[in-house]
Amino acid sequence: MHQLSQADMMEATRLTREGRLEEAMALLQGKPRAQAPAASDSAPAPAVKASPQGAKPLIDMVPPSASGGAWTAPSMKGTTFAGGASAPPSAEMPAVLRGLMDRMGGLGTTTGASTGLSETLMGKLGGSLGTATPRAPVAVPNGARFEERVFTNVAGSRPYKLYVPSTYAGEPLPLVVMLHGCTQSPDDFAAGTQMNELAEEMGFLVAYPGQTQAANMQKCWNWFNAADQQRDGGEPSLIAGITRAVIDEFAVSPGRVYIAGLSAGGAAAAIMGATYPDLYAAVGVHSGLACGAARDMVSAFGAMKQGGGAVAVRAGSGQPVPTIIFHGDRDTTVHPVNGDEVATQAKAGAVHRTEADRGMSQGGMTFTRTVHRDDAGRAMLEQWVLHGAGHAWSGGSTNGSYTDPKGPDASREMLRFFLEHNTPATSRI
């Protein structure tokens, strides 16, 4: 087997960042570098959709052609790669990825230059969703607090922001934990979802764990790593630790702790519901994937494209977890079938009576909402299919990135659903 030096790994990382994946793979295999063929003069130019002036970005990527290829982030549209190609060399992408996985021993366990390489590949193949535009600090009403903190345990450290509404006077309040998507930050996510404004209006605490670039180059939660899908280990232990730290410091209503997220954050929220059903009374998954939908970067690519299949459905906790799901039926980043898999996993085989209705948001977006109720009539699962929507927080504010203001208000609907559920006091354990 070709022995790689640190210099080899650094050079492979550089080539990967430039989109020269075949050359990077050749270097890792000890072969002469392959040069990407020049694009034909007659080849059609990549289609670039013009965005309305002032429009905010959506986390959408161009899907691969029927003949294969890689998903392409909007920020890469029209980009010229080595040899004049309009997309990275990708005909043998699965083989390239598997080879890299074999070399690096899997994501989450690599160090040094190999870590940089794996993170760069994740950016190219599913995590490169554009860069959230820096915005003004989140406005905080008089008497309210929006503080930055850090939580540390044996799995590492993560920053988080905590919103305490101005009405808080030591009485027990519900707690909502919000997990941002790739390239986002707690401030950006707070601005886009307007969860702080709801907290001020309705009276609850909001914690926003923040992913770091040291953990993932695109600041994605590592939902696709097997090590980050387990209770009391990896990122789940950090998110649960942040939740418990807030519970320990503030008066939190017993059993009224909830978690929600978007995209990679939605997948992480599904993992938290599956691994900590005693801690979170209900879960909100927006444009995410089921726990166990992927076990490494290669399977993550497949799950985003076509779902995780039966493996994802079986990976849950085995007990029903009250869950509310939002997913656009035109989502080209995380295939809509993933919303169905989140729903199936959350039900854990329970039989519910269902009711469905169609509606239209004030912004003109149509949707179908299906409610699953238990024998007592309590809504255990709500699934919102947003017709014509892509990969963005429904009903969000343009003050944040990756939002679609035309859709129904996902934040308010999640809060309504959350407050209908509570868990026993053992949720503090």
Whether the pLDDT of residue 221 is over 80: the answer is yes
Residue 128: which H helix or E strand, with range? none
Q: Binning pLDDT at 50, 70 and 90, where does residue 55 land?
A: very low
**Direct distance between the N- and C-terminal alpha carbons of the chain, in angstroms, rounded to an integer:** 48
Residue 24 to residues 19, 32, 90, 118, 140: CA-CA distances in angstroms? 9, 10, 12, 12, 47
pLDDT given at position 405:
98
Share of the chain above pLDDT 70, in %: 65
CA-CA distance, 369 to 357, in Å (whole number)? 6
Whether the pLDDT of residue 216 is over 90: the answer is yes
144-166: per-residue pLDDT in tens?
999 999 999 999 999 999 999 99
212 is a domain residue: yes
**Angle at 115 (CA atoms; ends 215, 83), nearest 5 degrees:** 115
341-396: per-residue pLDDT in tens?
999 999 988 888 999 999 999 999 999 999 999 999 999 999 999 999 999 999 99
Q: Which backbone phi and psi does 231 adopt, to 5 degrees? A: -65, 140
Asked if residue 285 and residue 414 are part of one domain, the reply reads yes
Other Cβ atoms closer than 10 A to 425: 9
Asked if residue 154 and residue 117 are part of one domain, the reply reads no
72-106: per-residue pLDDT in tens?
333 433 333 333 333 333 333 444 444 444 443 33
Report the chain's mean pLDDT, rounded to a whole number.
78
Q: Binning pLDDT at 50, 70 and 90, where does residue 15 land?
A: low
pLDDT given at position 4:
53
Domain-terminating residue out of 127, 156, 174: 127
Q: Which residue has the higher pLDDT, 319 or 328?
A: 328
Tell me the pTM. 0.74
CA-CA distance, 55 to 215, in Å (whole number)? 30
Token pair, residue 206, equals: 């909001």
262 is a domain residue: yes
pLDDT given at position 98:
43
Asked if residue 369 and residue 220 are part of one domain, the reply reads yes
Asked if residue 165 and residue 91 are part of one domain, the reply reads no
Q: Binning pLDDT at 50, 70 and 90, where does residue 235 land?
A: very high
> 65 is in which domain, residue-wise?
6-41+56-127
46 is a domain residue: no
333-342: per-residue pLDDT in tens?
999 999 999 9
Asked if residue 161 and residue 115 are part of one domain, the reply reads no
Asked if residue 87 and residue 150 are part of one domain, the reply reads no
CA-CA distance, 236 to 78, in Å (whole number)? 38
Asked if residue 418 and residue 374 are part of one domain, the reply reads yes
271-297: per-residue pLDDT in tens?
999 999 999 999 999 999 999 999 998
pLDDT given at position 179:
98
Burial of 344 (0-12, 13-18, 19+ CB in 10 A): middle
CATH number where 355 lies? 3.40.50.1820
**Angle at 418 (CA atoms; ends 414, 423), nearest 5 degrees:** 155
Residue 297: which H helix or E strand, with range? helix 297-306
158 is a domain residue: yes
pLDDT given at position 68:
31
Q: How many residues does the chain have?
A: 429
Asked if residue 261 and residue 173 are part of one domain, the reply reads yes
**Angle at 150 (CA atoms; ends 427, 274), nearest 5 degrees:** 35
Asked if residue 177 and residue 121 are part of one domain, the reply reads no
414 is a domain residue: yes
Is 271 in contact with 315 (CB distance < 8 Å)?
no
User: Looking at this protein, which amino acid is placed at residue 423?
Assistant: T
CA-CA distance, 425 to 49, in Å (whole number)? 51
Average pLDDT over residues 194-213: 98
Q: Which backbone phi and psi does 62 adopt, to 5 degrees? A: -75, 125
Q: Binning pLDDT at 50, 70 and 90, where does residue 187 land?
A: very high
pLDDT given at position 330:
97
389 is a domain residue: yes
CA-CA distance, 199 to 103, in Å (whole number)? 47
Share of the chain above pLDDT 90, in %: 61
Whether the pLDDT of residue 53 is over 70: the answer is no
Q: Tokens 């807030």: give the residue.
A: 246
Number of domains in the chain: 2
Q: Binning pLDDT at 50, 70 and 90, where does residue 309 land?
A: confident
Domain-terminating residue out of 97, 127, 157: 127
136 is a domain residue: no
Asked if residue 300 and residue 354 are part of one domain, the reply reads yes
316 is a domain residue: yes
Produce one character per residue of 163-189: b if its CB has 16 or more CB atoms within 10 Å, e if not: bbbebbeeeebbbbbbbbbbbbbbbbb
Is 74 in contact with 60 (CB distance < 8 Å)?
yes
Asked if residue 309 and residue 211 are part of one domain, the reply reads yes
Q: Which of 24-28, 38-42, 163-167, 181-185 has the lowest mean pLDDT?
A: 38-42
Asked if residue 254 and residue 118 are part of one domain, the reply reads no
CA-CA distance, 381 to 355, in Å (whole number)? 11
